[in-house]
Structures are given as structure tokens and as C-alpha cells.
Structure 1
Amino acid sequence: MRRLDNCPAPAKLNLFLHVTGRRADGYHLLQTAFQLIDRCDYLDVEVREDGQICRTNDIEGVPADSDLIVRAARLLQTHTGCQLGANLTLRKHLPMGGGVGGGSSDAATTLLALNHLWETGLQREELMRLALQLGADVPFFLFGENAFAEGVGEELQALTTPDVWFVVLEPGVQVPTPAIFSAKELTRDTKPVRIADFPGDAKQTWKNDLQTVACALFPQVDAAIQWLSQYGDAKMTGSGSCVFCAFVEESAAEQVLKQVPDRWVSWKAKALSRHPMAQKLGSKNIWLEAGLTLK
């Protein structure tokens, strides 16, 4: 039986996130820098011959039919007409409702693994277009490298980011994205920036426009940011709730971790320049087909 085990679904951080406008359909226009990090969920995928898509383990609060990994598998199956199925086993390490893209990354890794195992042969661009049906962040995890994103998050350009370590705090709350984007207090008119300005333009404030709203609604997020700000430029990722701070040296990140109060879950992560599934898929990965060198 064909299978792939321990398929990594990496987290992302938003190094900044600006809301620059709102479309007629209600979706917000964004600019952000997506950073891959080496903290991951892991997925085991086994091919079934009967066409059934089955999640083999329970995940608290996530029914199988609404799980993005199941939805992703069924979407690929329908789109390609594939008659094969899959058993999917997901080991969660990334917090839900934390703004680190866990569900979106899980869905992307599902698509990558099954496109390989089912031999459906979709190229990167087609897989990214398909993935947009699952959520605005999913195409980024199929892009293969860090990115400057615009639109609703789906217009991506490759971005070189610093090789650093991050300390990440989980404030202990799940922040519902709709509550943040629907808040009257949300800034929706930040002046657009250029990819060439990031991160070197010292005159530009590289902030998260969603952070002020999240802190007002969830004091736990504000408390985590205030504490971590002792050590550097701490900010929230995505629509929350996780907060992070960058450090040049791993040893500096380790020292901060030792000081974190017990009320928070905390961890360190290393910046990645490429998606770790490239190694898992070897010479048949979609990024090599797209002409990317994934070292």
C-alpha cells in the first residue's frame, strides 16, 4: 500500500499585516509578509483503493467532515476525477485559532501528499488555484517559499527574509477571525507598501492592523504582547492569538523561553526559507517543476 508518513505542515508567522481596503463583496484587501517556521503538524497519508476519504483519529472540536484535510482530499479527488481514496492521520502541534495557519497548512500538505501518491500530476499554479477554495492562506503553503502577499492574501511574490529564531507565546484563547474583521474599530485604510521596502524602510511601521482590535477583545493577547515586548518587537500573527518576537541567536531565544510565565505555552521556532515537504517528495515535488531551487 502506498503511503507517506510524517508529512510536515509548517506554521507561518505574519511579519506584518496591513489592511489596505475592502472589496465590494466584503473581503478585506491585505498586504503581509508570510514567514515559514519549523514548528509543524504532521500528517500520515495512506492510499485506499475504494475511493473513501477517512480521517483515522479524533481531533477535539473538529468533526471529520468539516476538517480541512478531509475537505482538501475530497476537493482534489473531485477536481481530478481520481478513483482512489485515503486514510489521513493528523498529529496536531499547532494551536487552533492561533493565527499560525495550522488548518490551512494541514490542507496544503494533504494536497501535496495526495497529488504525489495519487499521481494526479497537478502543477503548482493549478494546485494553488484549487486550494483557494479552502481558504485564503492555503495557496501560500503551496507556494513553497516565504512571500509578500496582497489581495485577500492570494497574490504572492517570493520574499527573502532574515535567518532568525522566534519565540512564540500562546495566550490561551482562540480568536475568531470574523470577530476581528467585522469590528468597527479595525483600521482599513493603511497606505500600501512596496515589497522592495520590506523590511529595510525604517520610516515604515511594520505592524499588524488586527492587533489593536484583538487586544481590546482579548486581554490575554495584550498581556502576552506586553510581556514579550521587554525583549524586542513583539507582535501578534494573523488575526491572533499567538504573539512572537524575533532573535538573531538561538541562545537569546532560549534565554527568553526560560523566563516565560507558566500561564502561557511557549516555544521557539527557526525561520525556514523553503517548505519542508520538498525533502519528503524529493525529485517529484511541485516546486522543482515550477523551477524553484529548494535547498
Structure 2
Amino acid sequence: MVDEQGFAAYPAPAKLNLFLHIVGRRQDGYHLLQSVFQLIDMHDTIYLRLRRDGQIVHHNPLPGVPAELDLTVRAARLLQPKGSDWGVDIRVDKRLPMGGGVGGGSSDAATVLLALNQLWQLQHSRVDLMALGLSLGADVPFFIFGQNAFVEGIGEIMTPIETPPRYFVVLHPQVHVSTPEIFKDPLLTRNSPSIKVGDLEGAVTRNDLQACAVRKYPEIAEQLNLLQQFGDARMTGSGSCIFVEMPSQAAANTVLCGLLESINGFAVQTLNRHPLYEYAK
């Protein structure tokens, strides 16, 4: 759908790490992980409008972030030399928290790559777009992959998996977690046993980064304690967002409404695929 200004809207969904294990470390310092990445229906909205002059213009960049450094602009500029003389106007309706571990900026970049692949009629393959996206951030290829996945390596090895419909309450403690700081923590567990994708059902899982984040950020610990009364609450990614599964959307809404007014949160449900999955083959 195109608005009165000629912008078309494209969703950029969030993800949850249902678990995150650090199973080793490479000689170059990168950590080896295993995780399940789950798409959820909470999303930013990216608005795009074609330009004939070849310029890429961001109309509402984040405060303190120069437009040329914004991931949406960088994604468009990365794709443009791959075959387009067109430009694009970009506007972002930002709902996903920054530094929350739900992949907000990465998802925004992936949505720009997927949408412009269609708008600019480039017809690049999914594999090619994923390779481009990797230079923008480790999570960008997952959102272009567009399916829930068992993720390994440093995040580049993805096996599609089927996940059942589920409902979650997601809270965002008002802190911005530094991912490098968490991974450098000397107390981080780096030797969790590996899991095979066929053994996921019934496996005992956790988020190995959570203990480090809780020590450094008391706000995360406080809200985890709030959610623990409803189930196995845990952190996603390196934080700061935390989540707990609910039996239904109504139950998620009820729990969210019953929490303190000062708490920022969402009631969400899972997605099977990225809404723009068909934009690349």
C-alpha cells in the first residue's frame, strides 16, 4: 500500500534467541555459538519511495546518528551499484528497541535489501543478498534467509526449522547493552556442549550471555525476576530484552497489562517466515 506521499510500507520483524550457547572460540577471537532464531510479529516499518535522480535520502534519521551511517542507507548504497540507476527516499517508523537483542537495526537493513531488490527490479538471489548483508551486520543474513533457524558457527550457518505457534511477553529494560562488553567478560561460559539440530526437542537450554548481562545491568535482573513468576524467562541475544512464553495471546496481554506502568513491553506471537520472504529466490 502506498501513502499519500508515495511511500510504500515494508515490515522489518524482530527475532528472539530462544536460547544462545557459546560452544567455543576461534583463534581470531570470534565466538562460536548455537542458537534458535525465532521471528516474531513485533516490527519496525520501513517506508520507501523511488527516486529517478539516483540519490538515497533518509528523511528521519535517528537522533545522533548521521544519515550516512544509518544501516538502512548503508544497505541501499551497498545494493545500488549492483545494477540500479534508481535512488530511494527512506523513512523509518522505529518500534524495535536499540541495543535490545531483537535484531532491530539488522532487520531494517535486511528489509531495505529485500524491498529494493524488488523495487529496483534487480532479481538478485537470496544467497547473494545474504552475502551483501553480512558486511552490514552478523544478524542481517538471518532476516534475508527469512525462516526460523538453528544457527551455528559465528552466526553464518543456518538450518531452517519448523517451530510451533507460540506467544510471548517481551520486556525492554531501559538500558543499552554493549555486545562487545558482554562477549569480553572473563566469566562468560565459552564451552557449552554442542547440540545437534535433531536433538533440539527436549534439550536443556539457556542463554550463556545472560549471567554476564545480569551482573552488569541490575535493570535486567529486576525485570527477569518479574517475569520468572510466569515461566522460564530469559534474555534474547546479548540483551537487554527478556521474554517468557505464554499459553495464548490473551494471556500475554493480561500479563503485560498487569505489570508496572513504567515497564516497556510487548505481547507478541511467532512468525513462520519473514513477510518479505518471496522478494528473493
Q: Work out the CA distance in 1 between the residues paired with 2:204 and 2:6.
A: 46
Alignment check: 8 A CA contact 2:58 2:91 kept: yes
Residue in 1 that maps onto 2:256: 257
1:285 maps onto 2:276 in alignment: no
Residue in 2 that maps onto 1:281: none
Q: Work out the CA distance in 2 between the residues paired with 1:242 and 1:61.
A: 22
Q: TM-score, normalised by structure 1?
A: 0.91
Residues paired across the two proteins, number: 278
Deviation string 1:249-288 (CA, Å, 9 cap, x unpaired) is 112112211221122101101111011124xxxxx621xx
Alignment check: 8 A CA contact 1:6 1:42 kept: yes
Deviation string 1:47-81 (CA, Å, 9 cap, x unpaired) is 11222111011322322111110111111113x14
Alignment check: 8 A CA contact 2:170 2:242 kept: yes
Q: Work out the CA distance in 2 between the residues paired with 1:259 and 1:21.
A: 40
Alignment check: 8 A CA contact 2:61 2:70 kept: no
Deviation string 1:95-153 (CA, Å, 9 cap, x unpaired) is 00000000000000000111111111101111111111111100000112100100111
Q: Which 4+ runs in 1 deviate beyond 3 A?
A: 1-4
Deviates more, 1:16-25 or 1:1-10: 1-10
Alignment RMSD: 1.6
Q: Work out the CA distance in 2 between the residues paired with 1:248 and 1:154.
A: 32
Residue 54 of structure 1 aligns with an amino acid whose one-letter code is V
Residue in 2 that maps onto 1:84: 86
Alignment check: 8 A CA contact 1:163 1:248 kept: no
Unpaired stretches in structure 2, ≥5 consecutive residues: none
Residue in 2 that maps onto 1:231: 230
Residue in 2 that maps onto 1:14: 17
Task: Give the 3-state SS of the residue equivalent to 1:231 in structure 2.
Answer: coil
Q: TM-score, normalised by structure 2?
A: 0.95
Q: Work out the CA distance in 2 between the residues paired with 1:185 and 1:17.
A: 16
| 1:192-211 superposed matches below 5 A | 192-198=194-200, 200-201=201-202, 204-211=203-210
1:42 maps onto 2:45 in alignment: yes
Unpaired stretches in structure 1, ≥5 consecutive residues: 279-283, 290-295
Q: Work out the CA distance in 1 between the residues paired with 2:132 and 2:6.
A: 23
